[in-house]
């Protein structure tokens, strides 16, 4: 029995090694690779991903998995072994339906599409990206086809990021959330209370931005001995093992929040990955429970901690000292209001908490329309601009600030966006629980102490990695299904106070 499991773990480990080697190449592509490296890199990624996939779906692996299942059936369902088998079994059934050729073609396509997107975004030229996106979407339709019959063509794509979640459930949650968020944004606009955020657009030396970011995330508990930070156009976190969790960031010398909050955000993802139990190394459980659960962690550190008053009561004097010319005449309360200013805006990653989910809902509807063919890729920029007008009352001046702003579609991540909004909701469900169990949390944050918060997250969320399905994990920890109520309570309380509603 022991032997069965060791054999299964070794075969699984080799698949994960191949996948993580590909992840190193992707990280390199986005950080240091010269532009001319795109073609050979696409081939390398295609080969590695095809090998990993072919090994994983091979009958030999299937046989080892069957034996491990027999062993796991006699174990505690909460044990690592049982969790690994559950997770791998689900993934095995999914991957077996995907032909290896599709995997290789998808890896090559998205590798080139990512490169094309970068150029298209830099030049605000959708036409340059369009043929690549057409291919990506066509591959997504093929992918959904591998899982027919389904309730909704979007279900198989959503399931990649949010195991067990259905399109209908997301529609229900968003259906409750949207009118209330739209109403809150309307009330804030109508109240007309001016919040001055001009100081955020002063000059902020990039190196100093980098330094304060490093200082804060070190205080959070991000371990630089088991990670590193680099610069990319689109910040991300990538995990090569529990001992190697890397983040990237970007800085705008004329806008402080851009770099600062993306650093905090990615550190939130990285804290999750660094906290996964070491016994889960070389397994898919390293990826965490789901993208929404991952996002609950990043948004928690970015917003619930990083945009809170106690947090800035602690860090603001330090920030002011670093940037005396930009912030010398600004008190902490004005700064707090500025970083929480509610404004209908064009760019998702820079949106405030009150409008953020509207950006997500727009993308969710567009993805569904692209998949069910009610929208063609060539008509995408107009469709985007129309929805922006409808949801946020704005029209992007160019496609770089519109449909080209996000990297996701170029990477084939269709079905991913809803996890951001779901992550916001989970973050607040967890936060209410944490506040009830750590009554002096705010005072700890005010002292720059995050140890107890991180321990709570490690104990309840991080260490399990992908051992439990997201809905199961959220229920275990909070006693509830994924719901928007705590999030709406939070928004009403925070913005009600700032805008005197």
**Residues making contact with Zn ion (CB under 5 A):** 298
Both tokens of 86, joined, read 């559950």
Closer CB to Zn ion, 487 or 499, in the complex? 487
Closer CB to Zn ion, 288 or 396, in the complex? 288
Burial class (CB in 10 A: 0-12, 13-18, 19+), 33: middle
Neighbours of 211 (CB within 10 A): 12
In angstroms, give the least distance from the CB of 235 to Zn ion: 8
In angstroms, give the least distance from the CB of 280 to Zn ion: 21
Contacts of 244 (CB under 8 A, 6+ apart): 226, 227
What residues form DSSP beta bridges with 246? 238
3-state secondary structure of 237: strand
- Annotated active-site positions, please? 266
Closer CB to Zn ion, 296 or 340, in the complex? 296
How far apart CA 21 and CA 46 sit, in angstroms, is 12
In angstroms, give the least distance from the CB of 295 to Zn ion: 5
Closer CB to Zn ion, 104 or 427, in the complex? 427
Give whole-number Cα distances, 311 to 7, 283, 308, 403, in Å: 48, 36, 5, 34
Buried b / exposed e along 342-381 (16+ C-beta atoms within 10 A) = bbbbbebbbbbbbbbbbbbbbbbbbbbbbbeeebebeebb
In angstroms, give the least distance from the CB of 107 to Zn ion: 22
Closer CB to Zn ion, 335 or 356, in the complex? 356
In angstroms, give the least distance from the CB of 265 to Zn ion: 6
Ramachandran region, residue 270 (left: φ > 0; alpha: ψ -120 to 50; beta: rest): alpha
Closer CB to Zn ion, 81 or 353, in the complex? 353
3-state secondary structure of 76: coil
In angstroms, give the least distance from the CB of 269 to Zn ion: 6
In angstroms, give the least distance from the CB of 326 to Zn ion: 27
How far apart CA 29 and CA 10 sit, in angstroms, is 29
Closer CB to Zn ion, 367 or 406, in the complex? 406
State phi, psi for 274 to the nearest 5 degrees: -70, -20
- Comparing every residue's Cβ against Zn ion, the nearest one is 298
DSSP classification of residue 355: T
How far apart CA 205 and CA 135 sit, in angstroms, is 41
Q: Which residue has the tokens 């898919």?
A: 284
Helical packing angle, 309-322 and 206-220, nearest 10° = 140
Any idea how long the chain is?
501
């Amino acid at each position: 029995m022991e032997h069965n499991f060791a054999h299964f773990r070794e075969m699984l480990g080799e698949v994960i090694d191949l996948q993580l080697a590909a992840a190193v190449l992707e990280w390199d592509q986005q950080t240091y690779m010269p532009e001319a490296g795109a073609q050979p890199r696409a081939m390398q990624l295609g080969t590695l991903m095809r090998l990993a996939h072919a090994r994983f779906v091979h009958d030999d692996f299937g046989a080892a998995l069957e034996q491990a299942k027999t062993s796991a059936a006699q174990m505690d369902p909460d044990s690592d072994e049982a969790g690994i088998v559950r997770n791998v079994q689900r993934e095995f059934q999914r991957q077996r339906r995907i032909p290896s050729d599709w995997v290789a073609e998808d890896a090559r396509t998205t590798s080139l599409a990512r490169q094309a997107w970068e150029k298209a975004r830099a030049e605000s030229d959708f036409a340059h990206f369009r043929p690549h996106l057409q291919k990506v979407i066509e591959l997504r339709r093929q992918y959904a086809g591998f899982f027919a019959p389904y309730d909704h063509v979007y279900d198989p794509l959503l399931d990649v990021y949010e195991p067990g979640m259905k399109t209908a459930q997301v529609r229900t949650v968003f259906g409750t959330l949207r009118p209330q968020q739209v109403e809150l944004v309307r009330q804030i606009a109508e109240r007309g209370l001016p919040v001055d955020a001009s100081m955020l657009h002063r000059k902020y030396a990039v190196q100093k931005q980098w330094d304060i970011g490093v200082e804060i995330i070190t205080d959070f508990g991000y371990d630089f001995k088991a990670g590193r930070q680099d610069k990319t156009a689109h910040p991300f976190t990538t995990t090569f093992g529990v001992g190697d969790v890397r983040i990237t960031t970007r800085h705008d010398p004329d806008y402080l929040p851009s770099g600062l909050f993306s650093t905090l955000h990615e550190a939130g993802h990285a804290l999750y990955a660094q906290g996964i139990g070491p016994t889960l190394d070389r397994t898919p459980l390293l990826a965490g429970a789901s993208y929404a659960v991952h996002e609950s962690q990043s948004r928690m550190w970015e917003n619930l901690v990083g945009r809170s008053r106690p947090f800035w009561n602690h860090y603001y004097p330090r920030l002011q000292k670093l940037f005396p010319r930009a912030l010398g005449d600004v008190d902490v309360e004005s700064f707090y209001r500025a970083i929480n200013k509610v404004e209908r805006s064009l760019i998702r990653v820079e949106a405030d908490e009150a409008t953020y989910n509207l950006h997500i809902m727009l993308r969710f509807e567009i993805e569904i329309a692209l998949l069910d063919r009610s929208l063609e890729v060539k008509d995408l920029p107009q469709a985007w601009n129309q929805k922006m007008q409808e949801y946020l009352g704005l029209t992007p001046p160019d496609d770089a600030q519109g449909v080209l702003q996000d990297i996701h579609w170029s990477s084939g991540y269709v079905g991913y966006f809803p996890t951001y909004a779901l992550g916001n909701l989970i973050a607040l469900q967890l936060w209410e629980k944490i506040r009830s169990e750590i009554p002096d949390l705010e005072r700890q944050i005010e002292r720059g102490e995050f140890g107890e918060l991180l321990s709570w997250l490690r104990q309840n969320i991080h260490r399990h990695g992908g051992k439990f399905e997201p809905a199961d994990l959220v229920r275990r920890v909070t006693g509830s299904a994924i719901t928007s109520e705590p999030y709406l309570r939070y928004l009403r309380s925070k913005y009600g106070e700032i805008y005197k509603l």
